[in-house]
Amino acid sequence: MSNVTTHTLFEALSQWRDAGWIRSIDLAFVEFLQQAGERSDAVLLAACCVSHQAGRGHTQVDLKALMDAPETLLNLPPENRHAADCALPSELFKQYGLDLNDALAASQCVDLNGHGTEPLVLSEHTLYLRRYWQYETFIEQSVQARMQDRPVINDELLKSTLAKLFAPTENGDINWQRVACANTVRNRFSVITGGPGTGKTYTVVRLLTALQHQALTLGLPPLRVSLAAPTGKAAARLTESIENELEQLVQNDKLSSLKDALLSIQPEGKTLHRLLGVKPNSRAFKHNAENPLRTDVVIVDEASMIDIEMMTALLKATPKHARLVLIGDKDQLASVEAGAVLGNLCAGADEGHYHSETAKWLQNIADTPTFPSELIDDKGEQRLQHVVKFRKSYRFKGPIADLANAINRQDDAATQQEIEKAKAAEEDYPVNLYEVSSLDDPAFEALIRGSLTLHVRNNADTTTDANNINEIAHEALQNLSNFQILTALREGPWGMKAVNQKVGDILGVNANTWYEGRPVMVTKNDYGLKLNNGDIGIALKDPEHGHLRVAFPDQEHGVRWILPSRLTHIETVYAMTVHKSQGSEFKHTVMILPEHDSPVMSKELLYTGITRAKERLSLVGNKLFSQGGKRV
């Protein structure tokens, strides 16, 4: 451990940067404040911390938590990056941060009311970078304005439409999907949240039908609808799901009176970047407050992945008259970028907090049983009158769901019970446990080799026919959803990079070079190639010319081909982090958990990773399944 008193603060922070504890931009921000005249080491240290937290997805820093437990709050030192030369955060705060609150209040670089231009904003005991303060303030004001402005609707028409679209519930249960439709038609801003298999996409089609039927019956033109998701894969899944559900409804003779409304629905999902129109080499979008989208309804799926900057852009581009509907699982991980927008909007939704007036209207229009008294709260926030949580899963059931739900409830006893069931079960049980000491363990190698052989090697064996190369590529891309390895971390012996390297060794290839069958993920938006962060492709041999090309899914043409030399920001993706897996599902998911406790090992990360598995879940780690269920 270093003697921190022999270092200036800047030298200590430079050591953090050199050891990989913080980013270069965090240190550059400190330099910028010094050049702007800031002389307080306490302010500079806090500024470095708030910048570091922004890089970890947090929009602000709670000063009390920062002073009480800086290592825990900042996740420093990071996993597998302990450095003997670096002072711990608590050491720096003991030397430089004792007068932190007074120093921030007196600093010329800190704004105390949010109305100035200073780079930092202090609100009570919370410190923000100005940009994120502005985003949060705008989102709050915009959402409030949309909640106060209700569209004109015909209640009785809506009630009769919902009766046709939804079958009566059994056992007197509330049909929350029907409630969500009623609530969304009634409001200009709405949130629908629910876990896997709760019928969110099922509800979207019926919601669009109800909205279109309202417009057409009132003599208005069909509503212009924009469907979007944060990633290309999520947008494609949204489109496919709506198309399948729409086809069934159109063929239903009982819905003949709604056929015009059904036929007016155009189920084309886009990425948010494509919807808003990316300006090359810029953070700005073509559609904004001055040039809003030409739309009447905006529905965004997988909204848990929306960061605070994207939400700001979306609200600016959505016309004030349009309905904005966010759909997603509030219990999943928040965006990799800063801000947990959906989670914040849904805070308290488990308990309902519906006003009596809200509940009465929804019960009448949705023709549903009386809301339980525990969901009624006349002092509930106005925000929660616009949120509906789905409380029943129709598809996601069984041992994988039971484990995920136990973790989400933080029920240690139930979690341990599910782990014990998996330990005692036969090989074909949906949840499998692999307690291994390292990635070199023969049990891990056998698991990976057996799973990968089914689809990775087949991709390389079937690319000889030039006539159907697009079909082969499409099938190869589809096969990538059969099996996926997920990790909690990027670095370290249990991290994504190490796992990808190990899989390459198992397959007899260098995982980070180009070869036939290599799956890759785009790690940075490439506006020239029209590729977004998170897009996944696979390298296949061109049967006509013999060289490798990378196939990516394309909404318009099915498959698009790009030469490997043009891809500058990609990484092999046999394994990906749980964060990157959001919006995807895999038949068999292997989730690798780190050896030691880490702040990233939250219930949200575990829940998100486990719920990516559709049919089989394999949990891999070292001594993780015998600790009272607290780690898994």
Q: What CATH number is attached to the domain comprising 63?
A: 1.10.10.1020
Residues 34 and 183 in one domain: no
| Confidence band, pLDDT 50/70/90 cuts, at residue 81 | low
pLDDT on residue 598? 61
Residues 295 and 204 in one domain: yes
pLDDT on residue 388? 95
Tell me the three-class secondary structure of 171-192, residue by residue. CCCCCHHHHHHHHHHHCCEEEE
pLDDT on residue 457? 45
pLDDT on residue 597? 59
Residues 131 and 155 in one domain: no
3-class state of residue 519 by DSSP: strand
3-class state of residue 440 by DSSP: coil
User: Long-range contacts of range 436-443, CB-CB < 8 Å, 24 or more positions apart?
Assistant: 436/620, 436/621, 436/622, 437/622, 438/493, 438/622, 439/493, 439/494, 439/498, 439/499, 439/502, 440/502
Would you say the C-alpha torsion 455, 458, 460, 463 has a positive or negative sign? negative
pLDDT on residue 1? 43
Question: Of the spans 287-296, 412-421, 426-435, which averages the highest pLDDT?
Answer: 287-296
Q: What's the pLDDT tens digit per position in 196-225?
A: 888 888 899 999 999 999 999 988 899 999
- First-to-final CA distance of the chain: 33
Would you say the C-alpha torsion 612, 613, 617, 618 has a positive or negative sign? negative
161 is in an annotated binding site: no
Q: What's the pLDDT tens digit per position in 352-403?
A: 999 999 999 999 999 888 899 999 999 999 999 999 999 887 777 788 888 9
- CA distances to 182, 206, 396 from 175, rounded to whole Å, are 11, 13, 17
Q: Which of 107, 138, 169 is the last residue of a domain?
A: 138
Query: 54, 8, 53, 56: which is closest to 31 by C-alpha?
Result: 8
Percent of the chain with pLDDT over 70: 92
Residue 450 included in any domain: yes
Position 465 pLDDT exceeds 60: no
pLDDT on residue 600? 67
195 is in an annotated binding site: yes
Residues 130 and 164 in one domain: no
Residues 164 and 305 in one domain: yes
201 is in an annotated binding site: yes
Q: Which of 154-158, 192-196, 469-473 shows the lowest per-residue confidence on average (mean pLDDT)? A: 469-473
Position 3 pLDDT exceeds 60: no
pLDDT on residue 77? 85
| 526 DSSP assignment | B
Q: d(Cα 485, Cα 347) in Å, to the nearest integer?
A: 31
Position 456 pLDDT exceeds 70: no
Residue 145 included in any domain: no
Residues 134 and 181 in one domain: no
Would you say the C-alpha torsion 563, 569, 571, 576 has a positive or negative sign? negative
- DSSP assignment of 264-297 equals T----EEEHHHHH-BPTTSS-BSSSSSS--S-SE
CB 552 within 8 A of CB 450: no
Residue 348 included in any domain: yes
User: Looking at the 3D structure of the chain, how many domains does it have?
Assistant: 3
Residue 572 included in any domain: yes
Q: d(Cα 399, Cα 357) in Å, to the nearest integer?
A: 39
- CA distances to 72, 297, 606, 631 from 598, rounded to whole Å, are 9, 41, 12, 10
Q: d(Cα 137, Cα 18) in Å, to the nearest integer?
A: 35
Q: What's the pLDDT tens digit per position in 22-32?
A: 999 999 999 99
Residue 577 included in any domain: yes
H or E element at residue 221? none
CB 613 within 8 A of CB 338: no
| Confidence band, pLDDT 50/70/90 cuts, at residue 4 | very low
- DSSP assignment of 376-419 equals B-TTS-GGGGGEEE----SS--SHHHHHHHHHHTT-HHHHHHHH
Query: 292, 379, 383: which is closest to 341 by C-alpha?
Result: 383
Q: Which of 366, 389, 412 is the last residue of a domain?
A: 389
Position 6 pLDDT exceeds 60: no
CB 600 within 8 A of CB 563: no
Position 533 pLDDT exceeds 80: no
Residues 205 and 338 in one domain: yes
Please give the average per-residue pLDDT across 140-160, as a whole number.
Answer: 92
Position 86 pLDDT exceeds 50: yes
User: In this structure, what are the phi and psi dihedrals at residue 486, rounded to the nearest 5 degrees?
Assistant: -120, 140
456 contacts: CB under 8 Å, gap ≥ 6: 507, 517, 519
Q: Is the bond into 77 cis (omega within 30 degrees of 0)?
A: yes
Residue 233 included in any domain: yes
- DSSP assignment of 468-515 equals GHHHHHHHHHHHTTTEEEEES-SSSTTSHHHHHHHHHHHHTS-TTS--
> What does R_g of the chain's alpha carbons equal in angstroms?
26
Position 462 pLDDT exceeds 50: no
Give the amino acid at 616. R
198 is in an annotated binding site: yes
Query: 532, 521, 571, 523: which is closest to 555 by C-alpha?
Result: 532
Percent of the chain with pLDDT over 90: 43
| 257 DSSP assignment | G
Residues 107 and 187 in one domain: no
Q: Which of 112, 138, 164 is the last residue of a domain?
A: 138
Query: 7, 180, 202, 203: which is closest to 91 by C-alpha?
Result: 7
200 is in an annotated binding site: yes
Q: d(Cα 172, Cα 170) in Å, to the nearest integer?
A: 5
Residues 434 and 563 in one domain: yes
CB 584 within 8 A of CB 371: no
- DSSP assignment of 531-549 equals B-TT-EEEEEE-TTT--EE
Q: d(Cα 95, Cα 105) in Å, to the nearest integer?
A: 19
Position 625 pLDDT exceeds 90: no
Specify the pairing of strand 120-123 against strand 126-129.
antiparallel
- DSSP assignment of 444-458 equals HHHHHHHHHHTTHHH
| Domain with 295 in it | 150-389
Position 549 pLDDT exceeds 70: yes
Residue 628 included in any domain: no
Residue 193 included in any domain: yes
- What CATH number did the domain enclosing 544 receive? 3.40.50.300
| Confidence band, pLDDT 50/70/90 cuts, at residue 427 | confident
Residues 262 and 189 in one domain: yes
Please give the average per-residue pLDDT across 460-465, as a whole number.
Answer: 49
197 is in an annotated binding site: yes
277 contacts: CB under 8 Å, gap ≥ 6: 285, 286, 287
- DSSP assignment of 182-220 equals HHHHH-SEEEEE--TTS-HHHHHHHHHHHHHHHHHHTTP
Q: Is 478 left (phi over 0), alpha (psi -120 to 50) or beta?
A: alpha
Residues 159 and 210 in one domain: yes
Q: Is 267 left (phi over 0), alpha (psi -120 to 50) or beta?
A: beta
pLDDT on residue 17? 92
- CA distances to 343, 386, 482, 585 from 192, rounded to whole Å, are 12, 9, 28, 20
196 is in an annotated binding site: yes
H or E element at residue 606? helix 603-610
Please give the average per-residue pLDDT across 38-58, as a whole number.
Answer: 92
Please give the average per-residue pLDDT across 591-597, as a whole number.
Answer: 77
| Confidence band, pLDDT 50/70/90 cuts, at residue 453 | low
Neighbours of 600 (CB within 10 A): 19
Tokens read off for 84 = 């003997």
Residues 406 and 380 in one domain: no
pLDDT on residue 494? 84
558 is in an annotated binding site: no
Q: What's the pLDDT tens digit per position in 237-260?
A: 888 888 888 888 888 888 888 888
Please give the average per-residue pLDDT across 584-594, as a whole number.
Answer: 88
